[in-house]
Structure 1
């Protein structure tokens, strides 16, 4: 009797076979004529793609822009100082002093140019390397497409093209999209706040990777001779406390990390009386305004005479990290009080037990001690926001959208009392968290301190 064995797999695979018969068994050898899928090449391509993503980041792209901006600002100032020196004829007394100033400026400028050359050379090599990596990856992926017998990749590419065409159709002139509702505004000399640019400055300064919490910016009402100065406050003790203000004579000095005249000390150590508590501080009129250590009060430190005075906030004000800014994954430590500046001066935002956690806004009047004048109460729950700032008497609040985007979603007009929750202005972030955000009317810039990096955005008016 003959034995017949049917193997359905033969009908699905191109194979050769050899049968060996015996009295009680049947053996079949199958040889696959198709090429084996190159799993090792796919793994290598995935590693190369991951390495390329790590090498090419938006931070590196913005680093060059920041250095160029510093150079763009610093050169006209140097030319102006040179013209002033040429006009001086005072028996060489002030001319010698001017030469010393210009020599210092040239030193800073040389350091900035050297850093710019290093970054440019590094970026040139990165572009060449990344271009080669992309070409190699493209060639490897083309080769692997022959294994896509089900044409999955081709269908995905078709779907992507359809999605792209649909998106273009939706944004075409025949299908205009609705613009975000514009925020309310009071009387503003610049016009109506409508948007912010992508980052104009992005720098780690002289402490790259250190001091996660802090603030920086410009004094909207600087003392004579300090018109071009920048300041920075870092929380150097457990992301909670700071005890000095660091000053920089120019933006380029801040970028390259040359602090002149250096630190102005408020208290000898952390934490102690007069210590800065929390990152939300501002400089106005050559005085630093901040949350007093272990108090529900606004402190004012005069940088000239080194004196500190304070104004008590209303009873029930939350402090000591009980009324922080938050998002779903994190609350920002010791952000109970948020100080802000705009065209009219200094403001303080906080919350209290009487207001059930909703944001309260008060105007801070200059003086020693500072005083509170008018107060406004909002319906914005403070822990639903991540930051606040003021522009032309209008309060704006932001919220966390993703690690790449922060949204300005809320506004409160102190002139009309009108609130809006649909402002809809996005901020492109360079790091995940923005721990302080303040507007400077001196240059219409938003200054953000983000995970130890200093970032600024140009405010656009209409």
Structure 2
């Protein structure tokens, strides 16, 4: 018994000596995936940053500025050469004119050289950028292989699902009216010119009514797309009906169908039209309510009148008229206007110190005043205003033959421009109302009892 116990202890002692503990323990870890190439990712990020630095909007702006400068200098050169050709002063000023033209040609040559060098630089930059983008695309595809958890792939799938969901929603809600574009949105661009006059007629009135308004409904009711309307101011500066014509030829020869639609029983009285600056939109006539600082809307179908009260301090009753140096157009305190987005009203207030104020008229029942813009142009220095593509344009009197569109306000940006410089050739001295119709891009003017149209050119 003792001998067996001794042998067991001896065996344990021997094993202990043979399996002495080691000082260090090491192990190997073999991963099936390759290490992520952080260096390659940093290279891609660096190349992308370089692209953003070298390709900037200022590059395109520089080229555009050179082209505009060249265009202006060429126009000036053409004008100076024309003056030189007409000069007949015994060579007194001919040498000076030639010297001016020579300097202009030197400037044009320098601009051409700069333009050519800039164009070459842009071509090289474009080629380099395209190659860099191709390289970046290849490297990003390679880096996606390290996305073992398929995060990038999942994001792509989510993006496709969102796109499919939006398409599905669009199909389900196909009959829902789209969100109206913001004011100022117009594919035609800003106004570039006004040509005409085109139509020039007194219709059936034979010059009896100097003041009035006419035009087309930008949002006509069904089967009234070709109709024209006229509001001749028949008593002092008031009217109590609107007159319709089935076509332009019917208006010119004076055949009214369906005839007059009466607004009020007498003239002037409650709901009477006051002043010539009226417009028709969506089957309703908008005008200055008689003896009020408010806009009236007469619904042609229901024969009902609703009104929109303008802000406190609005000038009315011929106290905030359109004017020029020789005369003022009475009862032109409120100017209603139409364009692609609806109805607008132009007026002035004591708070605005007589400057033009523009407000959007919202088509609610009753109508409401929408967003308002304040300008820095004095209303009594203006002869007319009109809206086109969300831009307010103002005219001024030059002489008996010409008015000028000199001012604009972009309602999208709030930017004012006092150098529009578009000429309107008149058939008579005064244009008492002027309104734009987006249906045919025409301006409709009422000029000393004559109905005159002009073509508005955009681009």
Contact 2:190–2:389, Cα closer than 8 Å, also in 1:
no
2:361 matched to which residue of 1? 364
1:355 matched to which residue of 2? 352
Are positions 1:308 and 2:305 aligned together? yes
How far 1:187 sits from its partner (Å)?
A: 2.6
Contact 1:446–1:457, Cα closer than 8 Å, also in 2:
yes
Alignment match of 2:86 (pick from 147, 152, 165): 165
How far 1:369 sits from its partner (Å)?
A: 1.3
- Render the CA deviation track for 1:195-237: whole Å, top value 9, x for unaligned: 0112111111111211000000000000000000000001100
Write the distance in 2 (CA, Å) between the matches of 1:388 and 1:164. Answer: 40
1:290 matched to which residue of 2? 287
Moved over 6 A (4+): 161-164, 173-176
2:186 matched to which residue of 1? 188
Are positions 1:457 and 2:454 aligned together? yes
Write the distance in 2 (CA, Å) between the matches of 1:298 and 1:162. Answer: 52
- Render the CA deviation track for 1:366-391: whole Å, top value 9, x for unaligned: 13311111001000100000000000
How far 1:164 sits from its partner (Å)?
A: 7.4
Indicate the SS of the match to 1:395. Answer: strand
**Paired positions, count:** 290
Contact 1:300–1:368, Cα closer than 8 Å, also in 2:
no
Alignment match of 2:211 (pick from 210, 213, 224): 213
Indicate the SS of the match to 2:277. Answer: coil
Are positions 1:399 and 2:320 aligned together? no
1:85-100 to structure 2, matched below 5 A, reads: none
TM-score, normalised relative to structure 1: 0.61
Write the distance in 2 (CA, Å) between the matches of 1:450 and 1:193. Answer: 22
Contact 1:186–1:392, Cα closer than 8 Å, also in 2:
yes
Write the distance in 1 (CA, Å) between the matches of 2:217 and 2:395. Answer: 23
Are positions 1:442 and 2:442 aligned together? no
- Render the CA deviation track for 1:238-262: whole Å, top value 9, x for unaligned: 1x10000000000000011110000
Write the distance in 2 (CA, Å) between the matches of 1:163 and 1:268. Answer: 66
Alignment match of 1:318 (pick from 310, 315, 319): 315
Write the distance in 2 (CA, Å) between the matches of 1:189 and 1:365. Answer: 22
Q: Compared with structure 1, are the counterparts of its residues 315 and 255 closer, same or farther at alpha carbon in structure 2 (3 Å cutoff)? A: same
1:423 matched to which residue of 2? 420
Write the distance in 1 (CA, Å) between the matches of 2:339 and 2:83. Answer: 47
1:132 matched to which residue of 2? none
Contact 2:408–2:417, Cα closer than 8 Å, also in 1:
yes
2:227 matched to which residue of 1? 229
- Render the CA deviation track for 1:124-169: whole Å, top value 9, x for unaligned: xxxxxxxxxxxxxxxxxxxxxxxxxxxxxxxxxxxxx9897249x9
Alignment match of 1:344 (pick from 341, 364, 371): 341
2:160 matched to which residue of 1? none
- Render the CA deviation track for 1:258-285: whole Å, top value 9, x for unaligned: 1000000000111100000000000000
Write the distance in 2 (CA, Å) between the matches of 1:453 and 1:250. Answer: 17
Q: Compared with structure 1, are the counterparts of its residues 231 and 165 closer, same or farther at alpha carbon in structure 2 (3 Å cutoff)? A: same
How far 1:190 sits from its partner (Å)?
A: 1.6
Contact 1:279–1:436, Cα closer than 8 Å, also in 2:
yes
Q: Compared with structure 1, are the counterparts of its residues 219 and 382 closer, same or farther at alpha carbon in structure 2 (3 Å cutoff)? A: same
Indicate the SS of the match to 1:401. Answer: strand
1:144 matched to which residue of 2? none
How far 1:454 sits from its partner (Å)?
A: 0.4
Write the distance in 2 (CA, Å) between the matches of 1:235 and 1:266. Answer: 13
Q: Compared with structure 1, are the counterparts of its residues 164 and 321 closer, same or farther at alpha carbon in structure 2 (3 Å cutoff)? A: farther
1:73-152 to structure 2, matched below 5 A, reads: none
Indicate the SS of the match to 2:252. Answer: helix
Indicate the SS of the match to 1:259. Answer: coil
Write the distance in 2 (CA, Å) between the matches of 1:294 and 1:369. Answer: 19
Rg bigger for which structure? 2
Q: Compared with structure 1, are the counterparts of its residues 164 and 385 closer, same or farther at alpha carbon in structure 2 (3 Å cutoff)? A: farther
Are positions 1:279 and 2:276 aligned together? yes
- Render the CA deviation track for 1:313-349: whole Å, top value 9, x for unaligned: 0000000000000001100000000000000000000
Show structure 2 runs of 5+ residues with no match: 1-81, 89-93, 106-182
